[in-house]
Amino acid sequence: MSEPFYIYSPARSATAFEWHNWQDLKNHILGLSSGFYYGQAFHHAARQYHFKTHEAKTDFQLIKILLGGRPDLIILNKTVAEAMLRDFQALPPAMTNAPDWDINPKGWPA
C-alpha cells in the first residue's frame, strides 16, 4: 500500500482535528472499512492503545455514519475518499481532512 490515507472528521468546529502520535487517537471512535488492512503500525497501535473502532461494510457507509455522528473519525484511502467526498460536500455538516494526516504504512506516526 503506497497510496496515502487521510483521516476525516465532521467539520463541527473551525479547527481541524490534529494528532501527533498514536495515543492521541485512543479517546476517539475510529471508523474503518471491514476487511481492509491499515498497515502493521496501525494494527499494533490499535492493540496497544485499545482503540475503539466501528466498522462499516463499505466506504460509502463509513462516510454516512460519520456524518450521522458516529464514529468520531474515519480513515480512508486518499483516491477513494476524494471521489466520494465530492458527492458528500453538499450534505451538512461538511467534512474536512487534516492536511497533516497524509498517512501511509511507512509514514504512520511513532
Looking at residue 9, what DSSP letter applies?
Answer: E
Cell (9 digits) for 49? 492503545
**HSE-up (13 A, CA, CB side) for residue 56:** 19
Cα(74)–Cα(7) distance, integer angstroms: 5
Distances (CA, A) of 49 to 24, 30, 92, 108: 10, 12, 32, 15
Q: What domains are defined for the chain? A: 5-97 (3.40.190.10)
- Rounded percentage of the chain residues whose pLDDT exceeds 70: 63
Q: Is the pTM of this model over 0.75?
A: no
- Rounded percentage of the chain residues whose pLDDT exceeds 90: 18
- What pLDDT, on a 0 to 100 scale, did the predictor assign at position 105? 36
Looking at residue 69, what DSSP letter applies?
Answer: T
Cα(75)–Cα(6) distance, integer angstroms: 6
The string of pLDDT tens digits covering residues 86-99 is: 776 644 445 555 44
Cα(24)–Cα(18) distance, integer angstroms: 8
Mean pLDDT computed over every residue of the chain: 73
- Give me the mean pLDDT over the 61-78 stretch: 82
